[in-house]
Chains A and B, each alone.
With several copies, the nearest count.
Chain A
């Protein structure tokens, strides 16, 4: 394993950074985070048509580019840096990766081409009113319908883009344990509500399901066993989120350093004061450590290594805290201006603090890591 990037990967990063700098500057982020859609639909199409981003980590046979977690990590790192409001994370990192990992050819053929083409948005619904992200705590139920197929009932919470996604992959419990069930947006018996989320750049939804028709997704078609790919999909999502957090943390560090160079107080740039220097040095340390954890985890995921659960728990534990730390320090270094609505510093903090709770808090990741490595 090496932890550096190929020329193609570096080029992907560079072109994406140019693209996002151009297409999604702060004003655009703010416009779309307040818009009903929550994101820029034209940009979504451009991402698919010009850059093929939605399919970057999907197999070529389904219209994807054949990349994997490393390429997806690059994309999310750049999106995190730009704080892009987009259904990309839910559609690609969550639903796309879950479908690709499902081993279910029918499901893949049915939905992956749409995801890759940018014509279908999707998400995965895991947590419920308890707020737990553990698969074992899922209470929503799936039962076989009289005429064949399944119906799903229960309430899902904190579903990323859950109120708008074209396809919902719902984790629900059968007699044998949790499974994944595809619900299309026009399915009967479903009510979707947008939640008021702290992070205005990432929409969360509540989904109430009451005997809603669904298609079981999994390698074994209709068989009744808890599929391992679900756990894998969750680990992949944690790794993808870590990449986004690295991008966010780096943006906070960059902004703080730039400001510290130009802001003058006491007739000196504040960056010449040790207190500010040391804060910035500690931020760099945390950002670089988070980067190591994330690149390693993405690489492990790309290899399909059995180390993925450990690498994901580790990245989840470290990167969340590193990103929140960087976002808080960024505000502190900016002082009053960092406390205003107009400055973007708070948007990064809100993203960071919210992401910290997605898929489990840092302490939960540490507890899982402890279990996995035998502490």
Chain B
């Protein structure tokens, strides 16, 4: 463990990390797209325009290979990129393609598929949305029932997907479908890219407990998908799930830590304003959150250090998601309590504190321990994959990996 600043071996000799940071910051602030439009379609156009600006100037895809328009940055620079991007408060990527589908395409796609799909995705010209979960296949994804029947050089897809974010904006839905028998579980799953505008695709917003629709349901009714839109082999889709580009998860941890650092600072400021910090019970809780938000950051740093030194993250990186979701639930619940009766006003009330963000966060973070694998499934996975505890003999083999 040394105390000097890390100099990464992949650095471009012509520019120091600080110079890179400065250049990036200048670009992001200089080209900031301004206030977010209220009208949804204007907002979509505004976001697409920003992503195109970013791409055209060579500032998109920090981890992506240059051949697909990315920056192919060293890991240390990716971290700098994420930090500056978060600070600049510019719009993020559209849809969920970049984090999930792109790594899969890069790793498993044909040359033709990569050429065709990657650049438009990165530039924001096509928006991608995930279609994995189904009403009967949540934690148990291998139980999915959406079928794809081969007819010549097409698949005919039928079924329903749920909990799809950005599906209402999507041009392409990347999805898992069943091509094997109903009992085939992981062995009968195929990875397909489905044109969201194709006949038979219906996307419906799904109102969640916050009252908003952050997710959609997708219905496929005899949707015809060319075989060329299959990634990997037929019945070979399962291993493609959750491919990630090496270091991106660690950078994501740092991102989350930075975001919650800001959120906690705002909560502490609010506590001061409302003179709540005079209460030792409040102080003790806030200090506990301070401990945890800092640990979140240190774990991110430790993961990065491990990756750089050993090429792979240690066990801490696998527990950090559970650490974070517990933190965010606890934080919002405490915030609501701290605000007392004002805390339980809805966000449309003029008396609501900070437009009800805390109570909204309390509601929203109910999903933290449910989405993308419940906290229970995460604990199972940690126990089995990291600690090597034996499988439950009554579970089907090969549970979804994290």
Contact B283 A198 (CB under 8 A): no
In the bound complex, residues from chain B placing their C-beta under 8 Å from that of A336 are 133, 135, 138, 162-163, 370-371
Interface with A: B90-98, B152-160, B237-245, B358-366, which one? B358-366
Contact B390 A6 (CB under 8 A): no
Residue of B281, B299, B339, B344 with most chain A CB atoms under a 10 A cut-off: B344
In the complex, whether B125 has a CB less than 8 A from a CB of chain A is no
A196 to B356, CA, bound (A): 10
Contact A339 B366 (CB under 8 A): yes
In the complex, whether B343 has a CB less than 8 A from a CB of chain A is yes
In the complex, whether A42 has a CB less than 8 A from a CB of chain B is no
A331 to B365, CA, bound (A): 11
Interface with B: A76-84, A94-102, A107-115, A349-357, which one? A349-357
In the complex, whether A125 has a CB less than 8 A from a CB of chain B is no
Interface with B: A55-63, A230-238, A286-294, which one? A286-294
Contact A282 B207 (CB under 8 A): no
Contact A284 B386 (CB under 8 A): yes
Question: Residue B396 contacts which of A4, A266, A314 (CB distance < 8 angstroms)?
Answer: A266
User: How many whole Å from B16's CB to the nearest CB in chain A?
Assistant: 17
Question: Residue A281 contacts which of B5, B207, B351, B379 (CB distance < 8 angstroms)?
Answer: B379
Contact A4 B310 (CB under 8 A): yes
User: How many whole Å from B67's CB to the nearest CB in chain A?
Assistant: 31
Residues 29-83 (chain A) with a chain B CB within 8 angstroms: 70
Question: Residue A278 contacts which of B3, B283, B379 (CB distance < 8 angstroms)?
Answer: B379
Interface 0/1 of A195-222, CB less than 8 Å to B: 1111100001010000000000000000
In the complex, whether A187 has a CB less than 8 A from a CB of chain B is no
In the bound complex, residues from chain B placing their C-beta under 8 Å from that of A357 are 340-341, 343-344
A2 to B308, CA, bound (A): 10
In the complex, whether B367 has a CB less than 8 A from a CB of chain A is yes
In the complex, whether B233 has a CB less than 8 A from a CB of chain A is no
Which residue of A is nearest B214, CB measured?
Answer: A339
Interface 0/1 of A113-140, CB less than 8 Å to B: 0000000000000010101110000000
Interface with A: B39-47, B99-107, B222-230, B285-293, which one? B285-293
Question: Residue B362 contacts which of A195, A266, A342, A353 (CB distance < 8 angstroms)?
Answer: A353
Main secondary structure of the interface of A (DSSP, over half): helix
Contact A198 B346 (CB under 8 A): yes
Interface 0/1 of B82-122, CB less than 8 Å to A: 00000000000000000000000000000000000000000
Contact B208 A6 (CB under 8 A): no
Contact B366 A257 (CB under 8 A): no
In the bound complex, residues from chain B placing their C-beta under 8 Å from that of A366 are 283-284, 287-288, 291
In the bound complex, residues from chain B placing their C-beta under 8 Å from that of A280 are 382-383, 387, 389
User: How many whole Å from A192's CB to the nearest CB in chain B?
Assistant: 14
Which residue of B is nearest A128, CB measured?
Answer: B341
A280 to B315, CA, bound (A): 13
A332 to B378, CA, bound (A): 14
User: How many whole Å from A138's CB to the nearest CB in chain B?
Assistant: 14
Contact B207 A274 (CB under 8 A): no
Main secondary structure of the interface of B (DSSP, over half): helix
In the bound complex, residues from chain B placing their C-beta under 8 Å from that of A299 are 1, 3
In the bound complex, residues from chain A placing their C-beta under 8 Å from that of B382 are 280-281, 284-285
In the bound complex, residues from chain B placing their C-beta under 8 Å from that of A332 are 366, 369-370, 374-375
Contact B6 A293 (CB under 8 A): no
In the bound complex, residues from chain A placing their C-beta under 8 Å from that of B18 are none
From known contacts A280-B383, A281-B322, A302-B1, infer whether A198 and B344 are also in contact, taking CB-CB under 8 Å.
yes
From known contacts A292-B295, A367-B283, infer whether A3 and B1 are also in contact, taking CB-CB under 8 Å.
yes
In the complex, whether A228 has a CB less than 8 A from a CB of chain B is no
Interface 0/1 of A322-345, CB less than 8 Å to B: 000000100110011111111001
In the complex, whether B57 has a CB less than 8 A from a CB of chain A is no
From known contacts A339-B367, A375-B287, infer whether A292 and B3 are also in contact, taking CB-CB under 8 Å.
no
User: How many whole Å from A154's CB to the nearest CB in chain B?
Assistant: 16
Question: Residue B383 contacts which of A264, A278, A293, A356 (CB distance < 8 angstroms)?
Answer: A278
Question: Residue A288 contacts which of B208, B319, B341, B345 (CB distance < 8 angstroms)?
Answer: B319
Which residue of A is nearest B364, CB measured?
Answer: A339
User: How many whole Å from A85's CB to the nearest CB in chain B?
Assistant: 15
In the bound complex, residues from chain A placing their C-beta under 8 Å from that of B286 are 370, 375
Contact A272 B399 (CB under 8 A): no
User: How many whole Å from B206's CB to the nearest CB in chain A?
Assistant: 7
User: How many whole Å from A87's CB to the nearest CB in chain B?
Assistant: 19
In the bound complex, residues from chain B placing their C-beta under 8 Å from that of A303 are 3
A259 to B396, CA, bound (A): 21
Contact B298 A335 (CB under 8 A): no
Contact A265 B143 (CB under 8 A): yes
Contact A261 B367 (CB under 8 A): no
Contact A277 B344 (CB under 8 A): no
User: How many whole Å from A267's CB to the nearest CB in chain B?
Assistant: 6
In the bound complex, residues from chain B placing their C-beta under 8 Å from that of A278 are 376, 379-380, 383
In the complex, whether B348 has a CB less than 8 A from a CB of chain A is yes
Question: Residue B305 contacts which of A4, A253, A285 (CB distance < 8 angstroms)?
Answer: A4
Question: Residue B277 contacts which of A132, A266, A375 (CB distance < 8 angstroms)?
Answer: A375
Residues 38-97 (chain B) with a chain A CB within 8 angstroms: none
Residues 159-193 (chain A) with a chain B CB within 8 angstroms: none
From known contacts A257-B389, A339-B209, infer whether A318 and B291 are also in contact, taking CB-CB under 8 Å.
yes
A298 to B308, CA, bound (A): 20
Seed contacts A196-B346, A336-B138; 17 additional CB < 8 Å A-B pairs: A2-B304, A196-B348, A280-B387, A281-B378, A284-B319, A285-B323, A291-B302, A292-B299, A298-B1, A299-B1, A332-B374, A346-B363, A356-B344, A363-B337, A366-B287, A373-B290, A375-B283
Interface CB pairs A-B, < 8 A, 20: A2-B2, A2-B305, A131-B341, A195-B349, A196-B345, A196-B347, A261-B388, A268-B390, A271-B383, A271-B389, A277-B383, A277-B384, A280-B382, A282-B379, A289-B316, A318-B291, A331-B209, A336-B138, A340-B208, A366-B288
